[in-house]
């Protein structure tokens, strides 16, 4: 049943990298890689993965939230399952590797061990949504596996389409969401992912074992003042929503710069009515706040929102704050981390531990099963940007460590 007997890890590595380039061209915006949750080009990614799974003789399906799941059964019906995967949605104008690299490495890993007996089932998962771009709330795909996506069905995107609408438009049934849940005994979840930051490059290491994923809050802020004439409204009479929001943005930057480990981002800001000669009456903006220590993050969030209320009030502006999501910092499973260290050591690869500043599906899976992540160096430390890159040798090293990891796990 081997699709290509004698295939080497170098061959598989070349195939993974070629596929990253090919899948980056499947997009909603020509000339960029832009693939929000369940957009039409998701079907083309699915078609590619269906083809690979079929050549490996895996059973494959798309669950009700749009995750593609390819399965190699275990030696017995009650054998536990090891899940391996990452996501196939992207941010706007993304690079070629965030998410997709981890999915393709999962498939390459399954092919690499195709001839070996394993005492567990292997399920490859291409999560449909991780970025939280279309609906603001991330991890819709992995939340469905843990049975916590039902509450998200009513969320609306910028066009007013709900998550349930998007699922139906893709030809799936949101009432079947429980079918996406993980059933039976789970051995754990392994996610390969590019680091998306500078730590491994600075350490001179191709790979890293994630110790924990930072916690984060996403919040919407609506500043409401009074639109008025830019020439005739004296400064003391203004209710300038954008001036209040601007003070908030600077305060967030200053706080994060002066608090070790804290990162704060205002990634969206819309001012209305948006004319050169009208005092802005309304501002809609977002805050993304992250820190490895939940107590620090929550204390700083509280302080920032209090400051925002103050900046609004001193201008006669009102502020409405709507929390979108909050996720606590999530340690990765000690046992699986140890296996990754042993596997990397056996391959002669350096394997420093590092904290992930990006959110990942592993932090959701960690609520129901042991979860671990292997990071692959980002040579230019750039991500959420089309110039995102990887070194070919590093990706091959990740694949080698993955194969060792399965060997060690099989012997446990």
Q: Which residues bind ligand GLV (CB under 6 A)?
A: 131, 358-359
Question: Is 181 labelled a binding residue?
Answer: no
Residue 240 binding result from Mn ion, ligand GLV, none, given CB thresholds of 5 to 8 Å by partner type: none
Helix axes 241-258, 294-313, angle to 10 degrees: 150
Query: Would you report the helix, strand and coil content of the chain in percent, each value rounded to 5?
Result: 35, 25, 40
Dihedral class, residue 281 (left if φ above 0, else alpha if ψ from -120 to 50, else beta): alpha
Which listed option, Mn ion, ligand GLV, none, makes contact with residue 99 (CB within 5 to 8 Å by class)?
Answer: Mn ion
Nearer to ligand GLV, 36 or 359 (CB): 359
Alpha-carbon gap, residue 143 to 159, rounded angstroms: 23
Total binding residues for Mn ion by CB under 5 A?
4
Smallest distance, ligand GLV to C-beta of residue 85, A: 15
225 contributes a contact to Mn ion by CB under 5 A: no
391 is in an annotated binding site: no
Q: Which of residues 42 and 216 has its CB atom nearest to ligand GLV in the complex?
A: 216
* 384 assigned binding-site residue: yes
Q: How far is the CB of 359 from ligand GLV (least distance, A)?
A: 4
Whichever of 359 and 402 has its CB closer to ligand GLV, that residue is 359
CA 113 – CA 246 distance, rounded (Å): 54
β-bridge pairing 269-272 and 282-291: antiparallel
Binds Mn ion (CB under 5 A): choice among 74, 359, 370, 402:
359
Question: Measured from the CB of residue 358, what is the shortest distance to ligand GLV in angstroms?
Answer: 4
Residues 6+ apart with CB under 8 A from 368: 145, 146, 182, 186
Segment 319 to 358, residues that bind Mn ion, using CB under 5 A: 358
Q: Cα separation of 244 and 311, whole Å?
A: 5
Residue 388 interacts with which of Mn ion, ligand GLV, none, CB < 5 to 8 Å by class: none
Residue 102 binds Mn ion, judged by CB under 5 A = no
Torsion sign, CA atoms 77, 81, 87, 88:
negative
Determine contact, residues 81/122, Cβ cutoff 8 Å: yes
Residue pair 157/340 in contact (Cβ under 8 Å)? The answer is no
Helix axes 392-411, 100-112, angle to 10 degrees: 50
Instruction: Give the nearest distance from C-beta 158 to ligand GLV in angstroms.
Output: 18
Q: Is 290 annotated as a binding residue?
A: yes
Choice from 98, 111, 327, 388 touching Mn ion (CB under 5 A): 98
The residue ranges that bind Mn ion (CB under 5 A) are: 98-99, 358-359
Show binding-site residues for allantoate: 218, 277, 290
């Amino acid at each position: 049943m081997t699709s290509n007997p004698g295939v080497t890890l170098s061959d598989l590595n070349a195939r993974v990298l070629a596929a990253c380039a090919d899948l980056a061209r499947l997009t909603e915006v020509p000339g960029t890689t832009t693939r929000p949750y369940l957009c039409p080009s998701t079907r083309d990614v699915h078609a590619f993965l269906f083809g690979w799974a079929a050549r490996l003789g895996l059973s494959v399906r798309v669950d009700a939230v749009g995750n593609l799941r390819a399965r190699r059964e275990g030696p017995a019906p009650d054998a536990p399952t090891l899940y391996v995967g990452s996501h196939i949605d992207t941010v706007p104008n993304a690079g070629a590797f965030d998410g997709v690299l981890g999915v393709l490495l999962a498939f390459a890993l399954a092919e690499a061990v195709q001839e070996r007996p394993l005492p567990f089932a292997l399920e490859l998962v291409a999560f449909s949504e991780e970025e939280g771009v279309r609906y603001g709330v991330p991890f819709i795909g992995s939340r469905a596996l843990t049975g916590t996506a039902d509450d998200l069905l009513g969320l609306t995107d910028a066009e007013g389409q709900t998550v349930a609408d998007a699922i139906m438009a893709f030809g799936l049934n949101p009432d079947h969401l429980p079918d996406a849940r993980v059933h039976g005994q789970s051995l754990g979840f392994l996610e390969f992912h590019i680091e998306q930051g500078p730590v491994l490059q600075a350490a001179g290491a191709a790979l890293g074992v994630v110790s924990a994923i930072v916690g984060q809050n996403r919040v919407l802020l609506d500043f409401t003042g009074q639109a008025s004439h830019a020439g005739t409204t004296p400064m003391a009479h203004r209710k300038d929503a954008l001036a209040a929001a601007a003070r908030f943005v600077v305060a967030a930057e200053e706080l994060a710069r002066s608090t070790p480990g804290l990162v704060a981002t205002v990634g969206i800001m819309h001012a209305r009515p948006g004319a050169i000669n009208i005092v802005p009456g309304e501002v809609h903006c977002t805050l993304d706040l992250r820190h490895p220590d939940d107590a620090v993050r929550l204390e700083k969030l509280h302080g920032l929102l209090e400051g925002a209320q103050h900046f609004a009030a001193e201008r006669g502006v009102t502020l409405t704050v709507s929390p979108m999501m909050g996720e606590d910092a999530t340690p990765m499973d000690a046992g699986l981390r140890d296996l990754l260290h042993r596997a990397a050591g056996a391959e002669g690869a350096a394997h420093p531990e590092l904290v992930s500043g990006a959110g990942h599906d592993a932090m959701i899976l960690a609520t129901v099963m042991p979860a671990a992540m292997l990071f692959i160096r980002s040579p230019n430390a750039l991500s959420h940007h089309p110039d995102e890159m990887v070194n070919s040798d590093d990706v091959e090293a990740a694949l080698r460590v993955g194969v060792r990891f399965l060997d060690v796990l099989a012997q446990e």
